[in-house]
Amino acid sequence: MEDLDLIQKIKTDDSDAFDVLFKTYYKDLVRYIRSLNNDLALSEDIVQQVFVNLWINRSTITIKNSVRGYLFSASYTTYIDYYRKTRRQLDLLENFKSEIIRDHISENKDLLEHKIKRLRMVIDTLPPICKKVLELNKFEGLKYDEIANELNISKKTVESHMRLAFKKIRQGFKDDTLFLFFAHKVFKTPLDK
């Protein structure tokens, strides 16, 4: 049976014709959408939504040339709509998180200043070489191998001092995970090795 004949039968509520069309194109459409996003479950959901929409709108659907082209185009459009909606939601979530952090910081400037002093005190309690390694990496932006050359120590020793420094900082702020997040950003992470 021709695809356009199937569409005509689907318009008259023929669920058997719908099943034939579904079985004919489902796997190819899933492969196509999966090639765009590499997510099998999402691809299956999108193609199923295309067929659900086809069934819901069966009485008003007009396909003049290629049913295959229509289904691939509808799948692509559904995927793009999903992608844009998801992107907007992620952008809104990121903006919301940023606002919360900014509000928290700006509402508590005195507290923040106190925490920065506390961080400086923790850093000041580090052994001299450990403190120097931390400052060279996080405040002057040197990479581990550059620090090793400047201080005439091995890169492994630099790594060891950095681990010790961050262990002490985490211990000093174990009750304040939000400040650890802030300090993480201030220190220009990820660590430059």
Measured CA to CA, the distance from residue 6 to residue 4 in angstroms comes to 5
Taking the CB of residue 119, how many other CB atoms lie within 10 A of it?
A: 19
- What does the mean pLDDT of the chain come to? 82
Give the pLDDT of residue 170. 81
Measured CA to CA, the distance from residue 102 to residue 13 in angstroms comes to 56
Give the pLDDT of residue 192. 43
Measured CA to CA, the distance from residue 71 to residue 50 in angstroms comes to 8
- Higher-scoring residue by pLDDT: 11, 110: 11
Residue 93 has pLDDT above 80, yes or no: no
Residue 171 has pLDDT above 90, yes or no: no
Provide DSSP, the chain.
--HHHHHHHHHTT-HHHHHHHHHHHHHHHHHHHHHHH--HHHHHHHHHHHHHHHHHTTTT----S-HHHHHHHHHHHHHHHHHHHHHHHHHHHHHHHHHHHHHHHHHTHHHHHHHHHHHHHHHHTS-HHHHHHHHHHHTS---HHHHHHHHT--HHHHHHHHHHHHHHHHHHTTT-HHHHHHHHHHTTSSP--
Question: pLDDT tens for residues 106-146?
Answer: 656 666 677 778 888 888 899 999 999 988 888 788 899 99
Measured CA to CA, the distance from residue 112 to residue 109 in angstroms comes to 5
- In order of their start, the domains of the chain are 3-98 (1.10.1740.10), 108-186 (1.10.10.10)
| Percentage with pLDDT > 90 across the chain | 38
